[in-house]
């Protein structure tokens, strides 16, 4: 049985180089996989995560050099958060000041310290201080000490147009449970260590979100393997009247997709085979990796991808 939680979050960015610089150098995440968008191979697909590239630690980006800015609204993610040790919030506040990262003052939410900030494209992010959090630092520059390293995702806040139906899918299909309500916000928790918080904000009647730089494209939830995924697909159809896409092979996981009733694009991704499917853990993210069906076009693809340094 898999842990119940988020597998990865995928967002849209502007220029690739700026995105890479921010997530690896400023936040100290590991570039776990450098590949291309399988549906648009002239575009990079960057996967950032913890040093092992565990499910639940992964935030991915499609960087488009000339992406227009997105807009938050119904059917979009309002914020994506990472988990850090509680004692590290001060370190990160100083670091954001020093690096000129747009951020707000730390605040308390549901008893936890939260430091909201934005990446260079305006993506709304936050660091959440969680007691007992430990992580192996993946910082290539060694500027981020072990006791301040980002462990992985904490979760997402979603703006949805039909909160009860979104909540029902989280609990009935993805194994989350409702823990607390505060006005129009309902918090759901899974049992995975990382990526186990989903906050649903009822935004019925608001403008729909618009995809673009700084916005989340989809949220992927974990299934242990094909059989677990199939069981979820069946539950979605039988209990919620929702059909998913056919399964797509994403090389590092296998996925189905569906638009949930609140408007957000959801994915169900298998934990198998994982990011070490085509390179050693020690070498994750170092080379441009292509799926077998694109390997024959490597020269052409490398020729159109934007420069990273
Ligand atoms: Zn995905």
- pLDDT tens by residue, 74-103: 999 999 999 999 999 999 999 999 999 999
C-alpha 252 to ligand 1 mean position (Å): 11
The CA 123 to ligand 1 mean position distance, Å, reads: 17
Q: Tell how far the Cα of 9 is from the centroid of ligand 1, in angstroms.
A: 7
Beta-strand ranges (E) seen in the chain are 6-13, 30-37, 40-49, 58-63, 76-85, 107-109, 112-118, 124-130, 152-160, 177-182, 185-189, 197-202, 216-223, 248-249, 253-259, 265-273
Kindly state the percentage of the chain with pLDDT values over 90.
93
Cα(94) to centroid(ligand 1), Å: 32
Cα 233 to middle of ligand 1, angstroms: 16
Compute, in angstroms, the gap from residue 111 CA to the centroid of ligand 1: 31
Task: Check whether 135 has a pLDDT greater than 70.
Answer: yes
Distance in Å, CA 218 to ligand 1 centroid: 6
Q: How far is the CA of 222 from the centre of ligand 1 (A)?
A: 11
The pLDDT of residue 265 is 97
Q: How confident is the model at residue 193 (pLDDT cuts 50, 70, 90)?
A: confident
Neighbours of ion ligand 1 (CB under 5 A): 10, 220, 267
Tens of pLDDT, residues 195-248: 999 999 999 999 999 999 999 999 999 999 999 999 999 999 999 999 999 999
**How far from the centroid of its chain's Cα atoms is residue 246's Cα?**
22
């Amino acid at each position: 049985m898999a842990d119940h939680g988020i597998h990865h979050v995928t967002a849209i960015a502007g220029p690739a180089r700026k995105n890479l610089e921010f997530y690896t150098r400023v936040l100290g995440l590991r570039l776990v996989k450098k590949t291309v968008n399988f549906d648009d191979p002239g575009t990079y697909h960057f996967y950032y995560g913890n040093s092992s590239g565990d499910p639940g630690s992964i935030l991915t980006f499609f960087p488009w050099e000339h992406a227009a800015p997105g807009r938050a609204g119904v059917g979009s993610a309002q914020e994506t958060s990472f988990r850090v040790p509680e004692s590290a919030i001060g370190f990160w506040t100083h670091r954001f000041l020093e690096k000129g990262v747009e951020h707000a003052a730390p605040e308390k939410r549901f008893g936890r310290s939260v430091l909201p900030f934005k990446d260079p494209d305006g993506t709304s992010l936050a660091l959440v201080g969680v007691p007992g959090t430990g992580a192996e630092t993946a910082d290539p520059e060694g500027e981020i000490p072990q006791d301040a390293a980002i462990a992985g995702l904490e979760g997402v806040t979603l703006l949805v147009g039909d909160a009860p139906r979104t909540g029902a899918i989280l609990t009935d299909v993805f194994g989350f449970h409702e823990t607390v309500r505060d006005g129009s916000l309902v918090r759901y928790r899974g049992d995975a260590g990382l990526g186990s918080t989903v906050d649903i904000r009822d935004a019925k009647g608001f403008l729909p979100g618009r995809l673009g730089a700084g916005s989340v494209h989809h949220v992927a939830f974990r299934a242990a393997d094909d059989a677990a995924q199939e069981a979820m697909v069946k539950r979605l159809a039988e209990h919620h009247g929702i059909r998913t896409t056919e399964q797509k092979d994403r090389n590092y996981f296998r996925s189905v997709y569906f638009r949930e009733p609140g408007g957000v694009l959801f994915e169900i991704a298998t934990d198998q085979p994982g990011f070490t499917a085509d390179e050693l853990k020690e070498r994750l993210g170092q080379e441009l990796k292509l799926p077998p069906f694109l390997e024959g076009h490597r020269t052409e693809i490398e020729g159109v991808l934007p420069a990273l340094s």
